[in-house]
Amino acid sequence: MTAKEYIESLRKLNLKVYFMGEQITNPVDHPMIRPSMNSVAMTYRMAEMEEYKDLMTATSNLTGKTINRFCHLHQSTGDLIKKVKMQRLCGQKTAACFQRCVGMDAFNAIYSTTYEMDQKNGSDYHARFVEYMKFVQDNDLTIDGAMTDPKGDRSLSPSKQEDPDLYLRIVEVRSDGIIVRGAKAHQTGAVNSHEHLIMPTVAMKEDDQDYAVSFAIPSDAEGILMIYGRQSCDTRKMEDKADIDLGNAEFGGHEALVIFDDVFIPNERVFMCKEYEFAGMMVERFAGYHRQSYGGCKVGVGDVLIGAAALAAEYNGAAKANHIKDKLVEMTHLNETLYSCGIACSAEGKRTLAVNYQIDLLLANVCKQNITRMPYEIARLAEDIAGGIMVTMPAALDFYNETTGPYIEKYLKGAVGIDTENRMRILRLIENITLGTAAVGYRTESMHGAGSPQAQRIMIARQGNIEGKKSLAKVIAQIDDSKNKN
């Protein structure tokens, strides 16, 4: 699809969206939602641009057609590397979350998991999913890859929760499909997606089998409603003449709480139904792909933030100070370290039994562990360079006011020759990325997106092969285990 066709395709959906206590009748043109939709539209627009086609498109292994890479099943380590490069490019163009990564990562995790599920059980989930992928690719759909459940009491398994709906579950199995009830939380780009693609959120035991479910459903299906999430400074988008205050007026991201109120899923769209022993595999593979993604998208936004900090230094008249130069070097070093991790886990990827390619899980988790730390330092340095005025500036309406405007023009002047409005705009961009609406897709999401820091540490412990490393040390030190008493 073109960007225009994507936008028009959303108009055809009968979405049930609530925000700030009211139902939104036209999400496409709502001033709070439209910037996030523009970010998704950019992924369609760039796929049409000749200079970006190598990164933004791929050849489908299912149909042989040229498709948007966001709908692709990775066929090589080269594909995995191009994915990261594409995500960095999209981050550079939007300085926000562009929302299609979760769907792409879900495609690849479910594709390989259903294959291995069928190999063991003789089921036909993989064939169903292949047909679904052809549908997604042929129509160039944006898919909300939905894994995270509300979870309730974290000390209890899904089946032991006081309220059984705190993890999405199967409430009825029928001859023609299943009925599901529950919710998916923190769903990136849900309101901008054509479909929801559901996965379990944790590894499960037999008692939890009703929660081991994967399926696809249109976003406007009967029984689905979305509650749009709040972001810092979000109502600025609804204020008159607030473009300066927005920092990033055109692009943004969003999350939503997606409710499934006894939703019917036909059999052909069910990809896991109580196969609890495969829930962990699907979770682990999706998490790995998504942790790889952060080595691209967060780096692209980081590029914009570093550029904004450098401009702020120029506009403040401080660009020649050695400590400013050193801070920009440190920001660049941290950002490129994150990118290196994303490329490394891609280059070390391996072919699955289903023949699509999976990243190196250990390196992907190392990538995301770094993401939980380094963007915070990049943001801190950007705020340091910008100065306190970033969070004390008057509103755009005061700047445009005939009484107060001249004072702001005079007293918020920075370096000689720099326009006051331009200085205000770059400072607001830094505020937007580090503290405002874009912080959801950069700062805080760096901590909790694709799993909290502890989730990566668990995987690093599991994948780190400490016993193998101990063996290496024993050989070098010439250890004789027979002499040990235990």
Tell me, what's the pLDDT at 423? 98
For 432, the token pair is 């937007």
- pTM of the shown model: 0.96
- The low-confidence residues of the chain, meaning pLDDT below 70, are none
The DSSP bridge pattern shows strands 195-198 and 143-146 to be parallel
How many domains does one find in the chain? 1
What are the two backbone dihedrals, phi and then psi, of residue 182, each rounded to the nearest 5 degrees?
Answer: 145, -150
Decide if 81 contacts 69 (C-beta within 8 A).
Answer: no
Cα angle 33-36-37, degrees, rounded to a multiple of 5? 85
pLDDT of residue 228: 98
Residue 72 lies in a domain: no
Residue 415 falls inside a structural domain = yes
Domain annotation covers residue 293: yes
Q: Which DSSP helix (H) or strand (E) runs through 382? A: helix 374-386
Q: Which residues on adjacent β-strands are paired with residue 188? A: 255
- Residue 437: which CATH number? 1.20.140.10
* Active-site annotation, residues: 97, 101, 188, 255, 290, 294, 297, 445
Sequence-separated (6 or more) residues with CB below 8 Å from residue 475 = none
Q: Cite the DSSP H helix spans in 229-355.
A: 243-246, 279-316, 322-347
The residue length of the chain stands at 486
Domain annotation covers residue 297:
yes
Range of the domain at 345: 282-466
138 Cα distance to chain centroid = 23
Residue 450, in any domain of the structure: yes
Residue 320 lies inside a defined structural domain of this protein:
yes
SS3 call for 172: strand
Of 371, 168, 191, nearest in space to 263 by CA: 168
Establish if 146 belongs to a structural domain: no
Q: What is the pLDDT, as a whole number, of residue 375? A: 97
Question: Does 154 map to a domain?
Answer: no
